[in-house]
Structure 1
Amino acid sequence: MSAYEAEPQPDPEPQADPDPQAVPMAHYDAVILAGGAARRLGGADKPALRVGGRALLDRVLAACAGASTTVVVAGRRPTVRPVVWAREDPPGAGPLAALDAGLRRTTAESVVVLSADLPFLDEDTVRRLLTTLRARDAEGAVLTDRGGRDQPLVAAYRSEPLRRELALLAAEYGGLTGLPLRLLTAELELTRIADPVASFDCDTWEDVAAARARIREHGHVLDEWITAVKDELGIDLDVDIRLLLDLARDAAHGVDRPAAPLTTFLVGYAAAQGKGGPEAVAEAARKAAALADRWANESRPDAPDAG
C-alpha cells in the first residue's frame, strides 16, 4: 500500500456494476495527488518513472482526459497535457491536505481523485467509476484491490460531501496535516468496484518491474507502443491500426519487405499534407493497398499484358 492508501476495510457486499454506456458520461473534474516521499522507492520521483515509455503521471492524465479541469497537487513538471497546479500547505502535509488543496481548484459536482502511480488506469475505468457513482446515488465510488481493500485514490466522489467532511475534519483536528485518508472515507457513503488491475499502483521497484513486464505482454504491447509514440510526437490522432498493419503486410508480401515501413510512412505523410484526420489516413491507406494489390497481380502468370 502507498502512503496515501487507506487501511483494509471489511469486504464489501457484491453488487452488479451498471452498464457504463447506459448512463451518460457526467461532467467532472479530476484531482491527481502526485506528491509523497516515495520512501519505498528510495525517494525516487515516482510520478516521473516510466512504464511503457510514458511517465506514470502522464498515463494517469491520459485516463482522465475527459475532465473539464484537471488539478495536479505537486511541484510543477512537464506533462503530456496542460493541467492546473496546486500545492498543499505546508508541502508534504499528507493526502487530506493535498486533496483539500486540489479540490479548491475544482467546480464540478463530481470529482475523480487519483494517485499518480497507476500504470493500468484507463478512460474506461474512469467512466465506470463515474457511472457507478451516479447510478448508485452514493457519495463515492472506489476501486478495491486484489485483497478487497478500498483504494480511495482510485475513486469518483461527489464534491459537496468531500468539501463538507474535509471542513469538519479540519475543525475537529485543527487542520488536515498528517491526517490519514480513512478519517475521510469512513464518513462517506461509498460503493465499491473490484478491479485488481486498474487499482494496481507502483509502491516498490518490484511493482514497477511487474508493470513494465505486463505492458510488454503480447496482448498489450502494440497499443501501448502506439500510444507512447503518439505522446512522444505530440500526435492526438486515433487511426485504424489494423488497417495500417494490413497495408504493411500487403506491401511487404506483394512488393518487397522494406516497402512496408516506407509505405506506411508515405501514407501518414500524405494524410498530414492534406491536413486530414483518421479519415484521410484511411483513404490514403486504401489507395496504397489497392496499388500494392495491382503491383502484386502483375507478377502472376495470368496477368493481363500491360502492353
Structure 2
Amino acid sequence: MAPSAESPGQPAFDAVILAGGEARRLGGADKPGLTVGGRSLVEHVVTAVADARTTIVVGPERPIPGVVFVREDPPRSGPVPALAAGLNGVTAPWVVLLAGDLPFITAPHVTSLLNAATTQPPSTTADPVPVTAATQPPSDPADPTPPTTTAGDPAPQPPAAPAHPTPGETPQSVSGDAAGTPADAVRPTRGDAAGTPANAARPTLRDAVAPASGDAREPAPEEGPVGGVVMVDDGGREQWLAGVWPMARLKRALAAYPGRSLKGLLGPLAAVRLALPGRPWFDCDTMDDLEEARMNVLNEWTALACEELGIDPATVDRDLILDLTKEVAHGVARPAAPLTAYLLGLAQGAGTAPDDAAAKLITLAKNWGQATAETLTDS
C-alpha cells in the first residue's frame, strides 16, 4: 500500500485502529460497520488518520481502500492482543491508537494529539511555570497522573536543575524578597530545593519502562521530548483508545507486560492528558450512543442547509417535520416522506402556517387507508 502524504511539519506516524470487539451492549452487532452520516463508524476513524504512512485496522476485513487489515490470535481476545497484532505492521516512530467506533474524531484532533506529544517544551528559563486552566497540577507530587492540557498545547516542562541547591541558595519566601521575585510567583514546595515548580508537568515516562539491554533510557530524537498522549473526555477520564504513543517505548512496554488491560499497559507511558473540543472521544457502545451520534449529524446538516439557503434555523421546527415524515413513511410509503416535507415547504411559502399544514398532513397520513378508499377509483 502506498503511504499517505504527510502534512508539512507533522511527525511521521502510523495508525492502529481496533475494530474487532464483540459489541455485547449492541447485541453482538457489527459495531464498526454501523453507519453514521452515510459512512460506517470505522470509515470515520480511517478518514481522521488519512495522513498516516500506514493505517492498520485490527478486525474483519472491509471494502475500505488503502487500509491494511489484520486479526489478533485468537480473534476477539481483547485489546492488548489486538494492539500487539496491529503493531507488527507499524514502522513509523509514532503510532496513533484509536477505537473503531469514534464518529466525531477528525484529522485536526489527531494533529493536536501528535503536536502535544512532539512539540518541544518552552525554552530553558528560570521563570516559574504559572498555574493555568491548561495545566493542572496533580494533587500530590508523588502522584504519577500526568497533567491535562487543552487545545493540543503540550504541558510546559520545567528546565533542568541541579539535584541540590548551590551554596547559599534557599527557596524564596511567598511574600517576596530582595531579589525582586514577585510575591505571586510559583515557589518550590515540599522541600524541593532544586526549584522545580509544584505545578510543572511531571513526565513519568523515562523511568516507566525498563529499557532492553543496551537501550538508553533517554528518548530517541524522533520520539520527541514529551512522550505518550492520551485523550480525556469531558469528565477528565482517560480514553485509552484515543492517543498517540512513541513506537519504540510502546513495543518495549508491550514485550514486558503480562496483563490484559490497556490502562495497565499505557498508563505508565502517558506523559500528557489532553482535552479537545468537539467530543472526539465519544464512542458508540449502545444503541442510545448510536442514535445520539446520528442526531448530531442531523443537527449539523440542518445548520449547514439553513446557512446555504439563507434560512434562520430558529424558524425550522425540526421535530415537527420529523414527526410528519415518520407518520408518512410508516402510514403511506417511504418515498412519500421527503415529498411530503417538500409540499410542507411549498405550503409555508404560500402563507399557510407550518403547524397547521403539518397537522393536516399528519391526520391525512394516519387516515390513509380510509382516505384512499373514499377518493381513489380504478380508471
TM-score, structure 2 normalization: 0.49
Tell me which amino acid in the other structure corresponds to 1:214.
Answer: N
Match of 2:219 in 1: none
Match of 2:43 in 1: 58
Q: CA deviation at 1:161?
A: 1.1
Match of 1:151 in 2: 239
- Greater length-normalized contact order (CA 8 Å, ≥ 6 residues apart): 1
Q: CA deviation at 1:138?
A: 2.4
Match of 2:73 in 1: 89
CA distance in 1, matches of 2:252, 2:269: 10
Aligned CA RMSD, in angstroms, stands at: 2.3
Q: Render the CA deviation track for 1:43-89: whole Å, top value 9, x for unaligned.
A: 0000110001110010101100000100000121112x321111111
Match of 2:285 in 1: 203
CA distance in 2, matches of 1:58, 1:115: 11
Q: CA deviation at 1:91?
A: 1.0
Q: Render the CA deviation track for 1:226-280: whole Å, top value 9, x for unaligned.
A: xxxxxxxxxxxxxxx97xx89xxxxxxxxxxxxxxxxxxxxxxxxxxxxxxxxxx
Matched residue SS, 1:130: helix
TM-score, structure 1 normalization: 0.61
CA distance in 1, matches of 2:304, 2:33: 22
CA distance in 2, matches of 1:50, 1:155: 23
Q: Does the aligned pair in 2 maintain the 1:33–1:116 contact within 8 Å? A: yes
Percent of aligned pairs with the same amino acid: 44
Match of 1:134 in 2: 118
Structure 2 segments unaligned to the other structure (5+ residues): 1-6, 120-153, 155-224, 311-379
Tell me which amino acid in the other structure corresponds to 2:285.
Answer: D
Task: Work out which of the residue numbers 260, 267, 271 in structure 2 matches 1:190.
Answer: 271
Matched residue SS, 2:72: coil
Match of 1:77 in 2: 62
Q: CA deviation at 1:221?
A: 6.1
Q: Does the aligned pair in 2 maintain the 1:57–1:116 contact within 8 Å? A: yes
CA distance in 2, matches of 1:165, 1:74: 23
CA distance in 2, matches of 1:105, 1:167: 16
Q: CA deviation at 1:24?
A: 2.1
- Mapping of residues 1-307 of structure 1, within 5 Å: 24-79=9-64, 81-135=65-119, 136=154, 137-169=225-257, 173=258, 179-195=260-276, 197-218=279-300, 222=304
| CA spacing shift, 1:90–1:185, aligned 2, 3 Å | same
Q: CA deviation at 1:131?
A: 0.7
CA distance in 2, matches of 1:126, 1:60: 10
| CA spacing shift, 1:219–1:106, aligned 2, 3 Å | same
CA distance in 2, matches of 1:148, 1:132: 17
| CA spacing shift, 1:220–1:167, aligned 2, 3 Å | farther
CA distance in 1, matches of 2:252, 2:279: 31
Q: Does the aligned pair in 1 maintain the 2:17–2:97 contact within 8 Å? A: yes
Tell me which amino acid in the other structure corresponds to 1:159.
Answer: M
Match of 1:274 in 2: none
